Amino acid sequence: MARPATLIVNPSAGNGRAATVLPQAEAALRRLDVPFEVERTTSLDHARELAGTATAAGRTAVVLSGDGMIGAVAGVLAQDEGLLGVLPGGRGNDFARVLGIPFDVEGACAVVAGGVERRVDLGDAGGRPFIGVASVGFDSDANRIANQTKLVTGSLVYAYGALRALAAWHPARFTLELDRRERVSFIGYSVAAANSPAYGGGMFIAPAAQLDDGLIDVVCSGRATRRRCLYNLPKVFSGRHVESPSVRVFRAGEVSVSCDRPFTVYADGDPIGDLPLTVSARSRALRVLVPS
């Protein structure tokens, strides 16, 4: 029999997708003989509490929500040596995408029932955990627009946010300090500190990033015309935007970011802090179930 699980569900995730998927997930877990209990939450703090309780009881904390709640729960699990299971229930689901966890309910539940454990890195932004990408600048505006809009649903909401943000964008000056040694300053669009290759529903902002190398890939999008930026935007879905002369990529265990004007840093689709901020990787801190 599979290890018992606590299914932590955010019913509002993915514009209600998680609530729709829940009955299918329950049925699939029963067919797979996974003992489980369901806990509904819309609060990150409550989700963290539930993850801690699950770990203390020797249960897998299975999150049916988006990457934001997965990241919040992951921080508790890393601290307590808990085990994470993922059922994609958000708009982007990039953590599942990178780990190869199926988006269909049956396939994802099969990973919870019979997957193998893998240790992956956990990002840290000023003491706040995240699983994917922490980004700032142009991305701050795009994320804010994506989170507020009701006009577009699904993963396309992030592309919509980027197009809307581009129309009003004015370049900013960013300053980076890499591993407390190398200092980089540039004028442009954004800085993305990537623990994982993808964000925004399949945008491979840092195509060479790895989830278990103990490092952060720092992608700097420098000065370019709006026309050039618009031309490069579709290339983010394949990762080919890094070939542009205006994009530079660094790799470090830690990066400190500041800017000449205020910005909110977003990670896993949610606001996580304000500049200046230091981002780092906690090497192999998180246990997660992945396909065998």
Are the beta carbons of 194 and 219 closer than 8 angstroms? Answer: yes
Our answer to whether residue 270 is catalytic in this structure is yes
Non-local (6+) Cβ contacts of 45 within 8 A are none
| Cα–Cα dist 219/242, whole Å | 8
Token pair of 145 as six digits: 């627009």
Non-local (6+) Cβ contacts of 94 within 8 A are 67, 132, 133, 196, 198, 199, 200, 201, 202
* Residue 127 burial (CB count, 10 A): 11
Token pair of 144 as six digits: 């804010």
SS (H, E, C) 58-82: CCEEEEEECHHHHHHHHHHHHHHCC
* 104, 217, 270, 274: the active-site residue: 270
| Cα–Cα dist 229/217, whole Å | 21
User: Where do we find the tokens 């990787």?
Assistant: 281
Judging by DSSP bridges, how do beta strands 277-290 and 83-88 pair with one another? parallel
Q: Which residues are catalytic?
A: 270
